[in-house]
Structure 1
Amino acid sequence: MVSNLAKKRDMWSLITLGIIVIYAFVLVFPLIALLKESFTAGKDGAFSMDYFFKFFGKKYYYGALFNSMKVTVAVTIASVILATPLAYIMTTVKIKGKIYLQILILISSMAPPFIGAYSWILLLGRNGVVTNFMRDVFHLGTPDIYGFLGITLVLTLQLTPLIYMFLMGALKSIDNSLLEAAESMGYTGISKLVKVVMPLIVPTILAGALMVFMRALADFGTPMLIGEGFMTLPVLIFNEFISEMGGNDGFAAAISVIVIIIALTIFLIQKYISNRKSFSMNALHPIKEKKESGMKNFLSHVYVYGFIALAILPQLYVVYTAFLKTSGRIFVKGYSLDSFRQAFDRVGDAILNTFMLGLTAIVFVVIIAIFIGYVTVRKRTSATNALDVISMVPYIVPGSVMGIALLLAFNSKPLLLSGTAAIMVISFVIRRLPYTIRSSAAIVHQISPSVEEASASLGASTLKTFTRITLPMMIPGVISGAILSWVTIISELSTSIILYTAKTRTMTIAVYTEVVRGNYGIAAALSTILIAITIISLLIFFKLTGQKEVSI
């Protein structure tokens, strides 16, 4: 009887319980606090639906909902349309410089979207380089980068690589014999893609589209910089929560709840459709690249190079402007390192904070992800299944919403964490854990249980088997996931903009602040540093994993 009880309370059960308690404290509790605040009105704190009636009672408020859905749907559709042929061409056609192109695609997706928005302002803004060139030389106007079209352009170029990475993994699972059979029946080119390939990758397209939808719905920096009156929900939440005239926490919470409901609904619809259309593929003969010739080869290269040129252009131009001379806030002729000097002088603390907060978060991410990745694969119980679901909730909850939830939960004693580095680290950990959890779980799947059974049969304890046998084998997957988590942490804005103080601002906050103030030189210097860190992190990822691409 005692031995059975001991088995139930083994090390892994206690670890699982401990992690669930942590999630209950830093995720579930804040979301409950958010929900409670949204239904509370007046000084007596009585139950009320007033905030929701207020939202749907004025066009200014519910118009932001329609604007967000308009942008999000447009970006999702455009990303799918662009990413599908891009992934197909990169998989089936020999493209010159493919290895480097894949790295550029990845870099374009990892930079914060608002840096792309800021770059396009420099290029196509009212006083942008391209705008002035077209007006002075050809006497022509350029498309307006502000508002719906600008937001859609920036987010589409930013998020298309996400679907591309999903599709690259799926296309490798398609057996080449299916394509050969299709060709023997007269399906070639676009018809083969539409009639044969796309039906096979529908679940993957839906999964990628869901991620794009969530990212576009949650993005704060892009519409804030180039929206110009085109109000979206994240901007509305920010304005209502942090207002110069006195924020309304309850109303911001109510809008946040509406956003969560929308995101959860889309998530459940995607899961339902994916489950109905899901099937497994095992490619005995994976698709191989073919060296094409003539018009097909030309158009393939034009499409790939054209998309990558547009996607990477914002980052390249930001790097270029970082080395221009400045006179006050204005760029002048010549090159210098003045912007970098000013950046270190004015916001050097933000650079240090980014590393300190980010690295601290990564330590917790790695430790927690190792345990979650292991128990959700090896110790399947109702508790570990619940943990698996809870750990993925941050995929659904937008960053600004999560930031407000954390502030509402930890803004009074004895849980006073607002304004501290701790609340920043908590937000980084819970929002970026899924990347490392997925890679950790994936590598555990590849480790044969017989290895651990052999260790146990030789008398090794559960802890010793894990630390000496399993953990060393998990390290490559854990590190690769941690690097991707790190890249997303240093580019985090939507949560940080809610939680930061003068002592905890990060580089993304500093970039955003300098852009708003018009200090484009300093903003460009900081952005360049962020881009450099991203590139170095990705190169380390490729080195450690031996991969030349990232597929999800």
Structure 2
Amino acid sequence: MKVLLWITFVVMFILIAIPLILLFLDSFKGEEALFTLKNYIDTFTRKSNIKSALNTLYLAISTTFFATLIGSVLAWLIARTDIPGKSILKTLLMVPYMIPPFIGAMGWMFLFGRAGYLNKLWEKFFGHILFNVHSFPGLVLVMTMYMYPPVFITVHTALMSMDASLEEAGRVCGARLFRVMRTISLPLVLPSILSGAFLVFAMTSANFGIPALIGMPARIHVLTTRIMSYIASGTEKGLSRAVSLSVILVGIAITGLTLNNLFVSKSKFTIITGKSTRPTEIRLGKFKMITSFAVWIFVIFAVFLPLFSLSLTSLWKAWGLPFKFSSFTFGNFYKVLFVDENTKSAIRNSFVFAILSATFVTILGSVVAYLSVRVKSLVSKFMDGLSTLPQAIPGTALAVAMILMWSSKFGINLYNTMWIIIVAYTARYMFLSVRTVSGAVRQIHESLEEAGRSIGAKQLRVLKDITFPILKPALLSSWALVFMPTFRELTISILLYGPQTRTIGVTIYELQEGGEYQMASAFAVFVLVIAFILQYVVNRYLLGRERT
């Protein structure tokens, strides 16, 4: 067991720790000195980089405010009121969380771009466009629509876990609804609200897809898009500036996630009690139908309209044709799936990369999970913490770290090959496997394995005959949970792909940037269909088997 522990530790250290250490050290490395601030001075004496950093902060703060407000209000309405259709509303409100943000951004572009459907319709009647999504307010709007779900689910869970007798006591004492909310409910769920807010702040700072598609056409850069621009330049100076910006971005993201973890622990301590009283539904009375109507309008606006515009664009023969039956075709899907060599190659690559990454992550992650639960040592704890670190930092920063690590730094050059992408995916999504499998390992009592060893079975035989069959549902869930995000990943792939290693995410992005809107939309709809099918399989079959 000790040999396996140390082998796993070395693999994890090479996979995750060394690239991140290199990223940090290289940001202080100069041509003549081992430690210098020259890279940071050079980077931040450029006004464009200062502007990008400020844009990142402004975007993160603005998105956090609106996403927290929307998510908290919706969570309260779904969890505590008698609004009709709460079950279906809760499901629909979580749909944006399942959609890759860059694909969602495409749907918003087709609605509110300069030639977007709603803008063209509005201009026809009123002589001017309704809203230009390629602006900072547009960037905040689209980002908010894909960042409110974490707040919604965090606050909803907290509200459902509260001790309802506290609010009941307030109402018994004669306090009105809003006073009970202000003096009792809000203070109790405030840690959860703040937790969700800090999580949104970190996720917004790290996002690449939405700023790239919505902000870059308006020359609005954030740190993630600026890093991509420097890497794309292919120069040594560009790489050093990308490294400096990546370290700054890591600091911003980790600050948000650290504060999130702090308030998660406070949230659990404050509001969850041993009582199992179910919260009493608040009757909205005459406001019931108005509130329900408002929530459904939001769902249509946030969920259905972007997906509808994306689907509609995928069926157009050409952009700008009149709205009639002869203008639509399924030919775009046929071209994407069976004709165009770039898209066919991207589909093959994404399937191969996702399958290999999911397999490697599940194998290594399950070993880390088993050792972290069964072996009580500092090494196992360190590995467990190390597995979550790549998820805590932005994907662009991780990609830059992988470039530093695997571009002949130690005599191994994986750059422009499929393996650097697979290595990056493996590091990025390791936490999914570790968290999924470790929970299952904790449910296996050690006496089962001890019984096998007591009759003379060796450790490997015990793992094969006892532990593995019990863990099989968790391992399958781990594999599927890693396959889904890696199949349509963009943020890491856009910095690491080579001429022969384009992925689906990269290809959709390039088609969109090249003006091939119909093909990009058809490809995006294909990805969404695959994603929803996989999500259904995981929810209905794999996770269902794990619970039983």
Whether contact under 8 Å (1:176, 1:287) holds in the other structure is yes
1:255 aligns with 2:248: no
Q: Distance in 2 between matches of 1:454 and 1:244?
A: 59
Q: Which amino acid aligns with 2:220?
A: F
Structure 2 match to 1:14: 3
Please say if residues 362 and 479 of structure 2, whose CA atoms lie closer than 8 Å, have aligned partners that are also in contact: yes
Aligned to 1:316: 308
Partner residue in 1 for 2:375: 379
The reply to whether residue 176 of structure 1 matches residue 164 of structure 2 is: yes
Q: Does 1:513 align with 2:510?
A: yes
1:239 equivalenced with 2:229 (yes/no): yes
> 1:155 corresponds to which letter in structure 2?
M
Give me the whole-angstrom Cα distance separating, in 1, the residues matched to 2:469 and 2:83. 37
Residue 326 of structure 1 aligns to a residue whose secondary structure is coil
| CA–CA separation in structure 2 for the residues paired with 1:454 and 1:307 | 57
Judged with a 3 Å threshold, the aligned counterparts in structure 2 of structure 1 residues 139 and 311 are, in CA distance, closer, same or farther, namely same
Contact kept in structure 2, 1:80 and 1:205, CA below 8 Å: yes
Does 181-190 or 409-418 show the bigger shift? 181-190
SS where residue 248 of structure 1 aligns?
Answer: helix
Q: Which residue of 2 aligns with 1:368?
A: 364
Write the distance in 1 (CA, Å) between the matches of 2:12 and 2:257.
Answer: 21
Q: Hey, what's the Cα distance between the residues in 2 that align with 1:188 and 1:501?
A: 63
Letter in 2 for 1:532: V
Q: How far 1:432 sits from its partner (Å)?
A: 1.5
Structure 2 residue identity aligned to 1:322? S
What is the root-mean-square deviation of aligned Cα atoms in Å? 2.9
Answer 1 or 2: higher relative contact order, Cα 8 Å, separation at least 6.
Answer: 1
1:362–1:485 CA contact under 8 A, matched in 2: yes
Equivalent in the alignment of 1:403: 399
1:39 paired with 2:28, answer yes
Q: 1:182 to 1:135 in 2, by over 3 A?
A: same
Paired amino acid for 1:343: V
Residue number among 94, 108, 112 corresponding to 1:124 in the alignment: 112
Which position in structure 2 is the counterpart of 1:85?
73
The C-alpha deviation readout for 1:369-390, integer Å capped at 9, x for no partner, is 2222333233332112111211
Once the two structures are TM-superposed, the CA of residue 169 in structure 1 deviates from its matched residue by 3.6
Q: Is the counterpart of residue 297 in structure 1 residue 293 in structure 2?
A: no
Are the counterparts in 2 of residues 480 and 544 from structure 1 also a CA contact under 8 Å? Answer: no
Question: TM-score if structure 2 supplies the norm length?
Answer: 0.89
Whether the 8 Å CA contact 1:326–1:338 is kept in 2: the answer is: no
Residues 380 and 204 (structure 1 numbering): CA distance in 2 closer, same or farther, change over 3 Å?
farther
User: Given the alignment, which residue of 494, 497, 501 partners 1:500?
Assistant: 497
- Structure 1 residues 536 and 57: CA distance shift in structure 2, 3 A: same
Q: Does 1:146 align with 2:134?
A: yes
CA distance in 1, matches of 2:490, 2:86: 31
Partners of 1:469 and 1:189 in 2: how far apart?
A: 55
Residues 257-276 of structure 1, C-alpha deviations (whole Å, 9 max, x = no match): 12222223333344445556
> Does 1:439 find its partner at 2:428?
no
**Match of 2:534, as an amino acid?**
S
Which residue of structure 2 aligns with residue 3 of structure 1? none
Deviations 1:117-174 (A, max 9, x none): 2221111111111111111113354232123211111111112112223334434432
For 2:451 and 2:443, locate their aligned partners in 1 and report how far apart those are by CA, in whole Å.
16
- Deviations 1:39-78 (CA, angstroms, capped at 9, x unpaired): 2333x56543212112332332112111101111211222
The list of structure 1 runs, each at least 4 consecutive aligned residues, that deviate by more than 6 angstroms after superposition, is: 329-332
How far is the alpha carbon of 1:450 from its aligned partner? 4.6
In the alignment, which residue of structure 1 is the partner of 2:351? 355
Of residues 338, 344, 363, the one that matches 2:331 is: 338
Shift of 1:198: 3.7
CA distance in 2 between counterparts of 1:290 and 1:278 reads 22
Residues 185, 427 of structure 1: CA spacing in aligned structure 2 closer, same or farther, 3 A cutoff? Answer: farther
Name 1:52's counterpart in structure 2.
40
1:461 Cα deviation (Å)?
A: 4.2
Q: Residue 394 of structure 1 aligns with which residue?
A: 390
CA–CA separation in structure 2 for the residues paired with 1:178 and 1:458: 55
Letter of the 2:51 counterpart: G
Which of 211, 218, 221 is the matching residue for 1:223?
211
The alpha-carbon deviation at position 416 of structure 1 amounts to 0.8
Gaps of 5+ in 2: none
Q: Residues 421-454 of structure 1: CA distance to partner in whole angstroms, max 9, x if unpaired? A: 1111111111122223223233334444454455
- Uncovered stretches (5+) of structure 1, i.e. residues with no partner: 1-10, 548-552
Q: Structure 1 residues 321, 276: closer, same or farther in 2, change over 3 A?
A: closer
C-alpha distance in structure 2 between counterparts of 1:212 and 1:73, whole Å: 9
- Secondary structure of 1:484's aligned partner: helix
Count of aligned pairs: 535
Q: Are residue 23 (structure 1) and residue 12 (structure 2) matched? A: yes
Q: 1:291 to 1:208 in 2, by over 3 A?
A: closer
Q: Distance in 2 between matches of 1:381 and 1:362?
A: 27
Secondary structure of 2:318's match? strand
Shift of the alpha carbon at 1:490? 2.4
Cα gap change, 1:288 to 1:481, in 2 (>3 Å) = farther
Relative to structure 1, the CA distance from residue 376 to residue 190 in structure 2 (aligned partners, 3 Å threshold; closer, same or farther) is farther
Q: Are residues 465 and 174 of structure 1, via their aligned partners in 2, closer, same or farther at CA, if it must alter by over 3 Å?
A: farther
Deviation for aligned residue 1:215:
1.8
Structure 1 range deviating more: 454-463 or 335-344: 454-463
Contact 1:173 1:283 in 2 (8 A): no
Determine the C-alpha separation between the residues in 2 that align with 1:171 and 1:452.
Answer: 40
Task: Map residues 478-497 of structure 1 onto 2, 5 A cutoff.
Answer: 478-497=475-494
